[in-house]
Amino acid sequence: MSQSRFAAIILAAGSGTRMKSAIPKVMHPIAGQPMIAHLLQALEPSRPAATVVAIGPQMDDVARTVTPAQTVVQDLPLGTGDAVRTALQAVQGRLAPQGDIDEVLVLYGDTPLLRSETLARLLTEQKRSPAAILLGGMRPADAGPYGRLVPAPDGSVLRIVEAADATPEEYAIGLCWGGLMLIQAHHIFELVDALDRDNAKSEFYLTGIVGMATDRGLPVRVVELPVEELIGINTRAELAEAEALMQSRLRRRAMDSGVTLVAPETVYLSADTRFGRDVLVEPNVTFGPGVTVDEGARICSFSHLEGATIGAHARVGPFARLRPGAVLDDEVHVGNFVEVKSARLHAGAKANHLTYIGDAEVGARTNIGAGTITCNYDGFDKHRTIIGEGVFIGSNTALVAPVTVGDGAIVAAGSVITSEISPDALSVARGRQVDKPGRAAEIRARLRGKNR
């Protein structure tokens, strides 16, 4: 279905005072990425003609995160109306009737749960029955701080009353503004420019344009949308609630795609976690950003994965840690208390317990014994370890990088490897065992004598 061309303005200048944080509010993460990134991703399928993000001073990290969206700086915190007025300068020449943008969609950057389908519904409703202003409304269980939508007898909206300015009768209204406002472009400048600061906070409230529109005979309507998608985040407690809702959504999506989560409520996903079919995830697993798991793999309990790629039918854990740059090819086994970082294990390789593999390449079908360490850091620089195919590394081996172990080599348990090992060689790098018969009894006798 064709849509009118629209510009999206995202309000993200708030510092998040109630978060008690040095981090801008919209940069706090939900499911492994800043909350504003979720909103931008929800916008993508609707293909806005322009996206402008209003930020506050010294919010360079926000500007970097929202790229390629354009940013404008609201120098003083004069309210949402002022933020929109500032953002409109970026698209002023493109607004109808002279330009190609028919409508302006205003959103809040702290609504990470908003879905693409909901935005499409709002845009479709405007196409079906155009209004000067179309509002996204909701009915929260606790209306609390949300602006109330004061209805007209015909079901349209007369005005939005901020909670701080509401009378007792208005405060009791259950239908609230959910932070979405779709405004026809040829009306927006005259409405925003007419805003004043005659309110409890002495700010330019964007919501004030609704009353002005109805006073001018312009139609204002509301579409009621899901509450859980529109809730804003202002406190750490609300951040935790939003995380729980997002995790529930991501878990359902994974299971619907053919993933088995044995205990879904104990598995934590990132927004970009990708699974193939028939992946099985045991309880108490955490997926950080940047993880892909191919079909048939099994992720065992208490494992932590971030920035890792896991091949088909591989097995990870329990109690494994995969750090950024870990690549496990098909049918690789990484077991309990194994850590992998910036390393690739080729098909069929195994490191089943108590091992650190960092900055390394491990060949196909190689077996890494318990207690093996790639000593990749010399105090100044990182170095790589290259292990060939079909190698056997005995338990408690230290591989001091940079070092190469050739195909088919065997390294004896307890070795400290500092030089290249040729293919099919046996390498023993440990002190020779010396036995002295009877000396243990002599030592015990001597020690007993000292302790009397």
How far apart, in Å, do the first and last CA atoms of the chain sit?
Answer: 95
Active site residue 313: no
Q: Catalytic residue among 304, 333, 346, 353, which?
A: 353
Radius of gyration of the chain measured on its C-alpha atoms: 31
**For 255-298, what is the HEC assignment?**
HHCCCEECCHHHCECCCCCEECCCCEECCCCEECCCCEECCCCE
Q: Which residues does the annotation mark as catalytic?
A: 353
